[in-house]
Structure 1
Amino acid sequence: MNYSGNLTVINVMEPIVADVLEEHYVRAGILKCTCDRCKLDILLLTLNHLPSRYTSSQEGEAYIKALYMNPQHQSDVLREITESVKIIENKPNH
Structure 2
Amino acid sequence: MEFARASSVFNAMEPIVVSFFEEHILPNYSLKCGCDKCATDIIVLTLNHLKPQYTSTQAGQAYIKALYMNPQMQSDILQELTRSLQIVESKPQHQLAE
- Scaled by the length of structure 2, what TM-score is found? 0.88
Aligned-partner Cα distance in 2 for 1:52–1:60 = 13
Q: Which whole-Å CA distance do the structure 1 matches of 2:42 and 2:90 have between them? A: 12
Q: For 1:13-92, what aligned pairs fall within 5 Å after superposition? A: 13-92=13-92
1:60 alignment partner, SS class = helix
Q: Which has the larger radius of gyration?
A: 2
| Offset, 1:7 | 2.2
In structure 1, the gaps of 5 or more residues are none
List per-residue Cα deviations over 1:31-85 (Å, max 9, x = no partner): 2211110001001110111000000000000000000000000000000000000
Distance in 2 (alpha carbons) for counterparts of 1:4 and 1:86: 39
Which structure 2 residue ranges, 5 or more long, are not aligned?
Answer: none
Q: Distance between the aligned counterparts of 1:55 and 1:38, measured in 2?
A: 27
Aligned residue pairs: how many? 94
Q: Percent identity?
A: 56
Residue 19 of structure 1: how far off its partner (Å): 0.5
The TM-score normalised by the length of structure 1 is: 0.92
- The CA deviation at 1:4 is 4.3
How far apart, in 2, do the equivalents of 1:17 and 1:67 lie? 13
1:52 partner letter: P
Superposed displacement of residue 26, structure 1: 1.8
Q: Aligned partners of 1:82 and 1:28: how far apart in 2?
A: 11
Which segment is superposed worse, 5-14 or 75-84?
5-14
